[in-house]
Chains A and B, each alone.
Chain A
Amino acid sequence: MPRVEPDSDNLTATPLEHQVSEAFASKLRAAGLGEATVAELVRSFAARRTPSAEVLLEALKSPSSTEEAAE
């Protein structure tokens, strides 16, 4: 899975972004996605530079994402 590293700018995330991040993670788990994928997507969201659609799609193609979703 292509990993997106958050950077120091995440320290300046707004309260609303924290709120969205937590709700996003919770809904991903409810949708059946596993912790590795949830963590990766939350990291992507927290990254200073929003990952492109291509990078996000590659992340979703990873075996862990699809296997978890298929379970």
Chain B
Amino acid sequence: MSILNYYFAAPYLAKRLKEDPKTRGAFIAVFGTLPQNIKAILVAQETAEKLVAFGDQYNLKYDVVEDIAFALREVATRTIALEKVPSFLVARGLQNDIAIAAAKEIENILGTPTGSAEQVTNNVVDLRNKSGV
């Protein structure tokens, strides 16, 4: 795991250079209140490794992997719901099926009980149908 990969694929560090100090400060405040296991996931090398491996699997560019890491952070801080992750990523130019797989990957990493991958997939299909994508 190179330090370069860690700096963009670890959810705690993802997109930090693009954030303004206020947003970053707000995130740090929320991070401080997260349960220890979630905090550990957000800063873990293991998480970054998993996301880079996911990116390699789908031949994704580094910026896209960083978007996925950022989405994971947003789910962990409850800024966005897991069901919304696919549409969040699709809006950033990711293909539908990869966005759904990324949501599953995030769910696997966080082990969140907020919804199963199937539910997420169904929600995304609904969203897609509604939006006519």
To the question of whether A and B form a pair in one complex, the answer is no
